[in-house]
Each structure stands twice: as structure tokens, then as C-alpha cells.
A and B are shown apart, each in its own frame.
Chain A
Amino acid sequence: MFNFLFKKEQQVQELISKYLDNLRAAQEHFEKAMDCYFDFGLGENCDFLIEQTHKFESRADDFRYEIIEMMYSKVLIPESRGDILRLLESIDLIPTHFETVLFMIQGQRLKIPDFITPDLRELMRLSLECGDLVTRQVEAYFKKTENIKPLVETIDSLESRCDHIEREIVRKIFASDLEPFEKMQLKELVINMGEISDQADRVSRSVYIINIKRRV
């Protein structure tokens, strides 16, 4: 009934929805780019998908700045404003990690040895599951579509599995006969891939805390 009084709030809500859709698109392109790389190695197709992922990452930044600008034009009470802005900053690190991983592969012309490929694929699959779940959790927080607590627990357990796989891959890399600089390169790649689930876990916990904080 009073919707016309709160136009800006509605616009921010719409922007957040667009931001989350964009995050999903960035993740989808990251996944395609990684699959393409694992299956066919670097090439035209892979470069195109990396470029697309980068485009969605940049668009995420644009959406975030637009949301910040609108929030500071007196949308929401200051406490909520601060919570949302910190949350968006934290979510924004997820596509940044997608981009970092792809740019490392592309820029350093990385070659993944066969003995870690299955583990890396599994790490990627679980990390992307964390990404999916955290986007769903953030959406659920803003739209109150489902209970967020079970999602926090699932993301936490997936993140633990990712950590375990990450350690396992690093162990295998250093137990191999690869050149030392190759070991360091691959280790950096693995750590950056692991950062995706770590960041998803951080975002998930932030959402949970913000939600608890608002209960009276």
C-alpha cells in the first residue's frame, strides 16, 4: 500500500537481485572456462570464456557501486546499510577469485599434470557448489524464501572437504618430480581455487551473523 514511499528500497532490492544473477552468470562462465581448459587446454574457446567471466566480474563491480551509491542516498537505516555493504564487498571476492584462477592459467600458460587433474576437478566442483549455495543463502536472506541455517552448515562441511582436497593436492605436487617453479605455480593455483570455498564460507557466516543480529 505504501510502496510508492519506498521506491529507493525497491530499487536496491532489484539491484541486489541483478547482482546475484550476475554472480551466477560469472560462476557459470568460470565453470565452462575451467571445463574447457581441463578438456581441451588453452585456446580460442577457453580465452573467450575467460573474457566472458572477466566481463561478469566487472559488471558485478558496477552493480556493487550502483548499490552503494543508492544506499547512501538514505536508503535503509545506517546499521543495515553497513551490514549490506560489508556483505556485498565480501561476496564480491568470489568472482574476483574466479578471475584470478583463470588469469593465472591463461597468463602463466599453466599445464596441469594428469595426476592432480581429478582432484582439481573435484575441488572445483565442490567450490562451485559452495558458490551456488552461498548465492542461494544470500538470496534467501534478502527475500526470506528459506531458512538459512541449514545452508550455513552445508557450506561449512563442503568448505572442510575443499580444504582437505587442497592439502592433498599440494602434498601430491610436492611429492612429484615436477620442477620447483612448477610446484610453486601449481601450489598457488590450488590455493587460489581453495579460496573460492573459503570466501563462500566467510560470506555464509556473515549472512548468518547479520541475520541473528537482527533478531530481537
Chain B
Amino acid sequence: MNSLLGGIFLGWSLGANDAANVFGTAVSSRMVKFWTAAILAATFVLVGALVEGQSGIETLQNLTSFTSNQAIVASVAAAVTVTLMTLLGLPVSTSQAVVGAILGVGLLNRQLNFAGLGKVVVCWLGTPVGGIVLTIIVYKLLAAIANSMNLNIFQADILLRLCLIFAGSYGAYALGANNVANVTAVFVGAGMLSVSAAVLIGGLSIGLGILTFSRGVMETVGKKLVRLDPFSALVVVLAQAITVHFYALIGVPVSTSQAVIGAVLGVGIIKGVNTIHRRTLVHIFLAWFITPFVASLFALFLDFAIHLRYIPGH
């Protein structure tokens, strides 16, 4: 169990940070109580992980081969990268940290599945783009439906609230299905866990992060989305969830935050306004390069460190 701690920590921090992308809007605007959101998010993350988390695990475990020690090195390297970059206020994606760490292990083994890696990188690039495209489609569709319904302000608000709970729950499902691989795939690769045990442990650790530490992040990150009008915020959450779910079906873990940024950009395109600072876009590009690079360096360093031997008399 101790050998899984790096992965569990990674899952915990993922839950604590990424739940804001699915329920932040509803919680920070006080439309949904934190505990309602947290329990729904934790439940649906677990369901998503159990039902559709396998394909992501298969993709990541096939990027290289692992020994038990290397699996631990990869998960700790990814966890340290995420923590360090978060503390430094630098952009970070758990998916990219995990792939970077696996890349480091792959370099040590001189064995990398370049086709699999290429697929992962293409999906990273496709995440914000998918967010933009889906937002435009979802916005137009929902706007047409909403405008044809002739609801009064109370009915419209109730419907919006129910939709936000639905979209948040679906987003949590997609998060669990997509991101559980980040948490435990390396242990499956090393033969330390079966796929079903991996999705269960991964789902539970993400859920634990949501239940214990997501409140602050939900309230701060959510407010950035609330600055959009409530309808646009709903579209952003829904488009993000569909994007992340799509990549879960393909079997590639992606960043929910980057899907959200793409979705917010999509709202900007529809409304003809600038919704995202150029700096945020630069941060995405930096995250694509810096996070995997730092994580692979950590993996190399940790592997080197655990192989150091004390030889008396020298």
C-alpha cells in the first residue's frame, strides 16, 4: 500500500484542484451547496473511473514498461512536479506531469512507444480546440432551446440550477473516466495493480481530494467562470465535460483546466469579446512544454537517487 502513496497523493491533489472546473460555478455563486456539489462530484468521479477509466490506463501503461520501483518513481515524480509547480504558481496539468514522468522512465529504459506518445500529444493540443468547437455548438443549441421555452425568471433559474447540477455531475463523471489513469496507470504497467483495482483506488483518491480539500479552489476558481453570465458558465462546464469525456473514450488523459480555457475562449468567439488574457494562453503553451520536461527530469533524478549505494571506505 505504501508504494501506492505517490499515486494516491496525485489523485488527492487532482480531486482537490479539478473539481472546481466542474462545480466551481455552481458553488461559488451559491447556487449549489458545497457539500451537495462535493458529494455529487466524488460519487460521479468514482462512477466515471469504474465505468470508463480503463482505456486511459491502457494508453499510459503502454507508453513504456515499468518495474515496481519505476512505477513508484514515476508517480512520485509527477506528484512532486504538480506540487512544486502549484506552489510556484506555474501552470500545471496532472496529465502532462504523469506523461512527462513516464517519458523520463522510458528514457531510462530506452523504450518508448512513440505512436502512443504522439497520440497523447495530439490530444493535448486538441483539448482547448475541442473546448472551443464544442462550446460554439453547445451554446448555439442550448440558446435556441432556451429562447424558445418562454420561461419566467424563476422557472429559468430553476432550470439553470438543475442543468448546472447535471453538467457538474457529468463533468465529474468525465473527470473520473479521463483522469483516473493519471493516478494509477503506472502501477498497472508495473503489474502492481489489476485494472479494476487501479480504477477503484484512483477514483477513491480523487474523490477523497474533492471531499477534503476542494472547497477553497472551487470558490476561487469558480468565480472566474461566474464572471461570465450564468448561461455561458453552464455552456463552459458542459462543453468542457463533453471534451474531456471524448478523450476518455479515446483513452487519453487530458487537462480539464485547458478544456475550460478553450471553452471560455469559445464563448468569447460567440460574443465577440476577449474572454481570456493572452497570458493565460501563453501559460497553456508553457504547461505543454515545461510540465512534462520538469516531471521527466524529476523521474530521472529520483531513479538516480534510489540507485545510489553507500560504499564504506571510499
Contact = CB atoms under 8 A, between A and B. Distances in A.
Interface of A: 2, 6, 9-10, 12-13, 74, 76-80, 83-84, 141-144, 214-216
Contacts of B30: 74, 78
A159 B151 CA distance: 29
B147 interface: yes
Given A9-B157, A216-B143, A79 B151 contact: no
A78 B151 CA distance: 18
B29 A77 contact: yes
Interface of B: 29-31, 139, 142-143, 146-147, 150-154, 156-158, 160-162, 229-231
B158 A141 contact: no
A144 B154 contact: no
A77 B160 contact: yes
7 contacts: A77-B160, A141-B152, A142-B152, A142-B154, A214-B156, A216-B143, A216-B231
Contact of B154 (A2, A13, A79, A216): A13
A106 B152 CA distance: 42
A20 B285 CA distance: 56
Contacts, number: 47
Given A77-B230, A214-B156, A216-B143, A144 B151 contact: yes
Contacts of A142: 152-154
Contacts of A79: 229-230
Contacts of A214: 153, 156
Rank and list the top 7 A-B pairs by shortest CB-CB distance, nearest first: A216-B143, A144-B152, A216-B231, A9-B154, A76-B157, A77-B230, A6-B158
Nearest to A142: B152
A216 B158 contact: no
A77 B147 contact: no
Contact of A215 (B139, B147, B230): B147
Contacts of A215: 147
A2 to B, nearest CB: 8
Contacts of B154: 6, 9-10, 12-13, 76, 142
B147 A216 contact: yes
Nearest to A76: B157
A143 B151 CA distance: 8
A79 B157 CA distance: 10
A141 B231 contact: no
B161 A77 contact: yes
A212 B186 CA distance: 53
Nearest to B142: A216
A77 B151 contact: no
A181 B197 CA distance: 92
Contacts of B158: 2, 6, 9
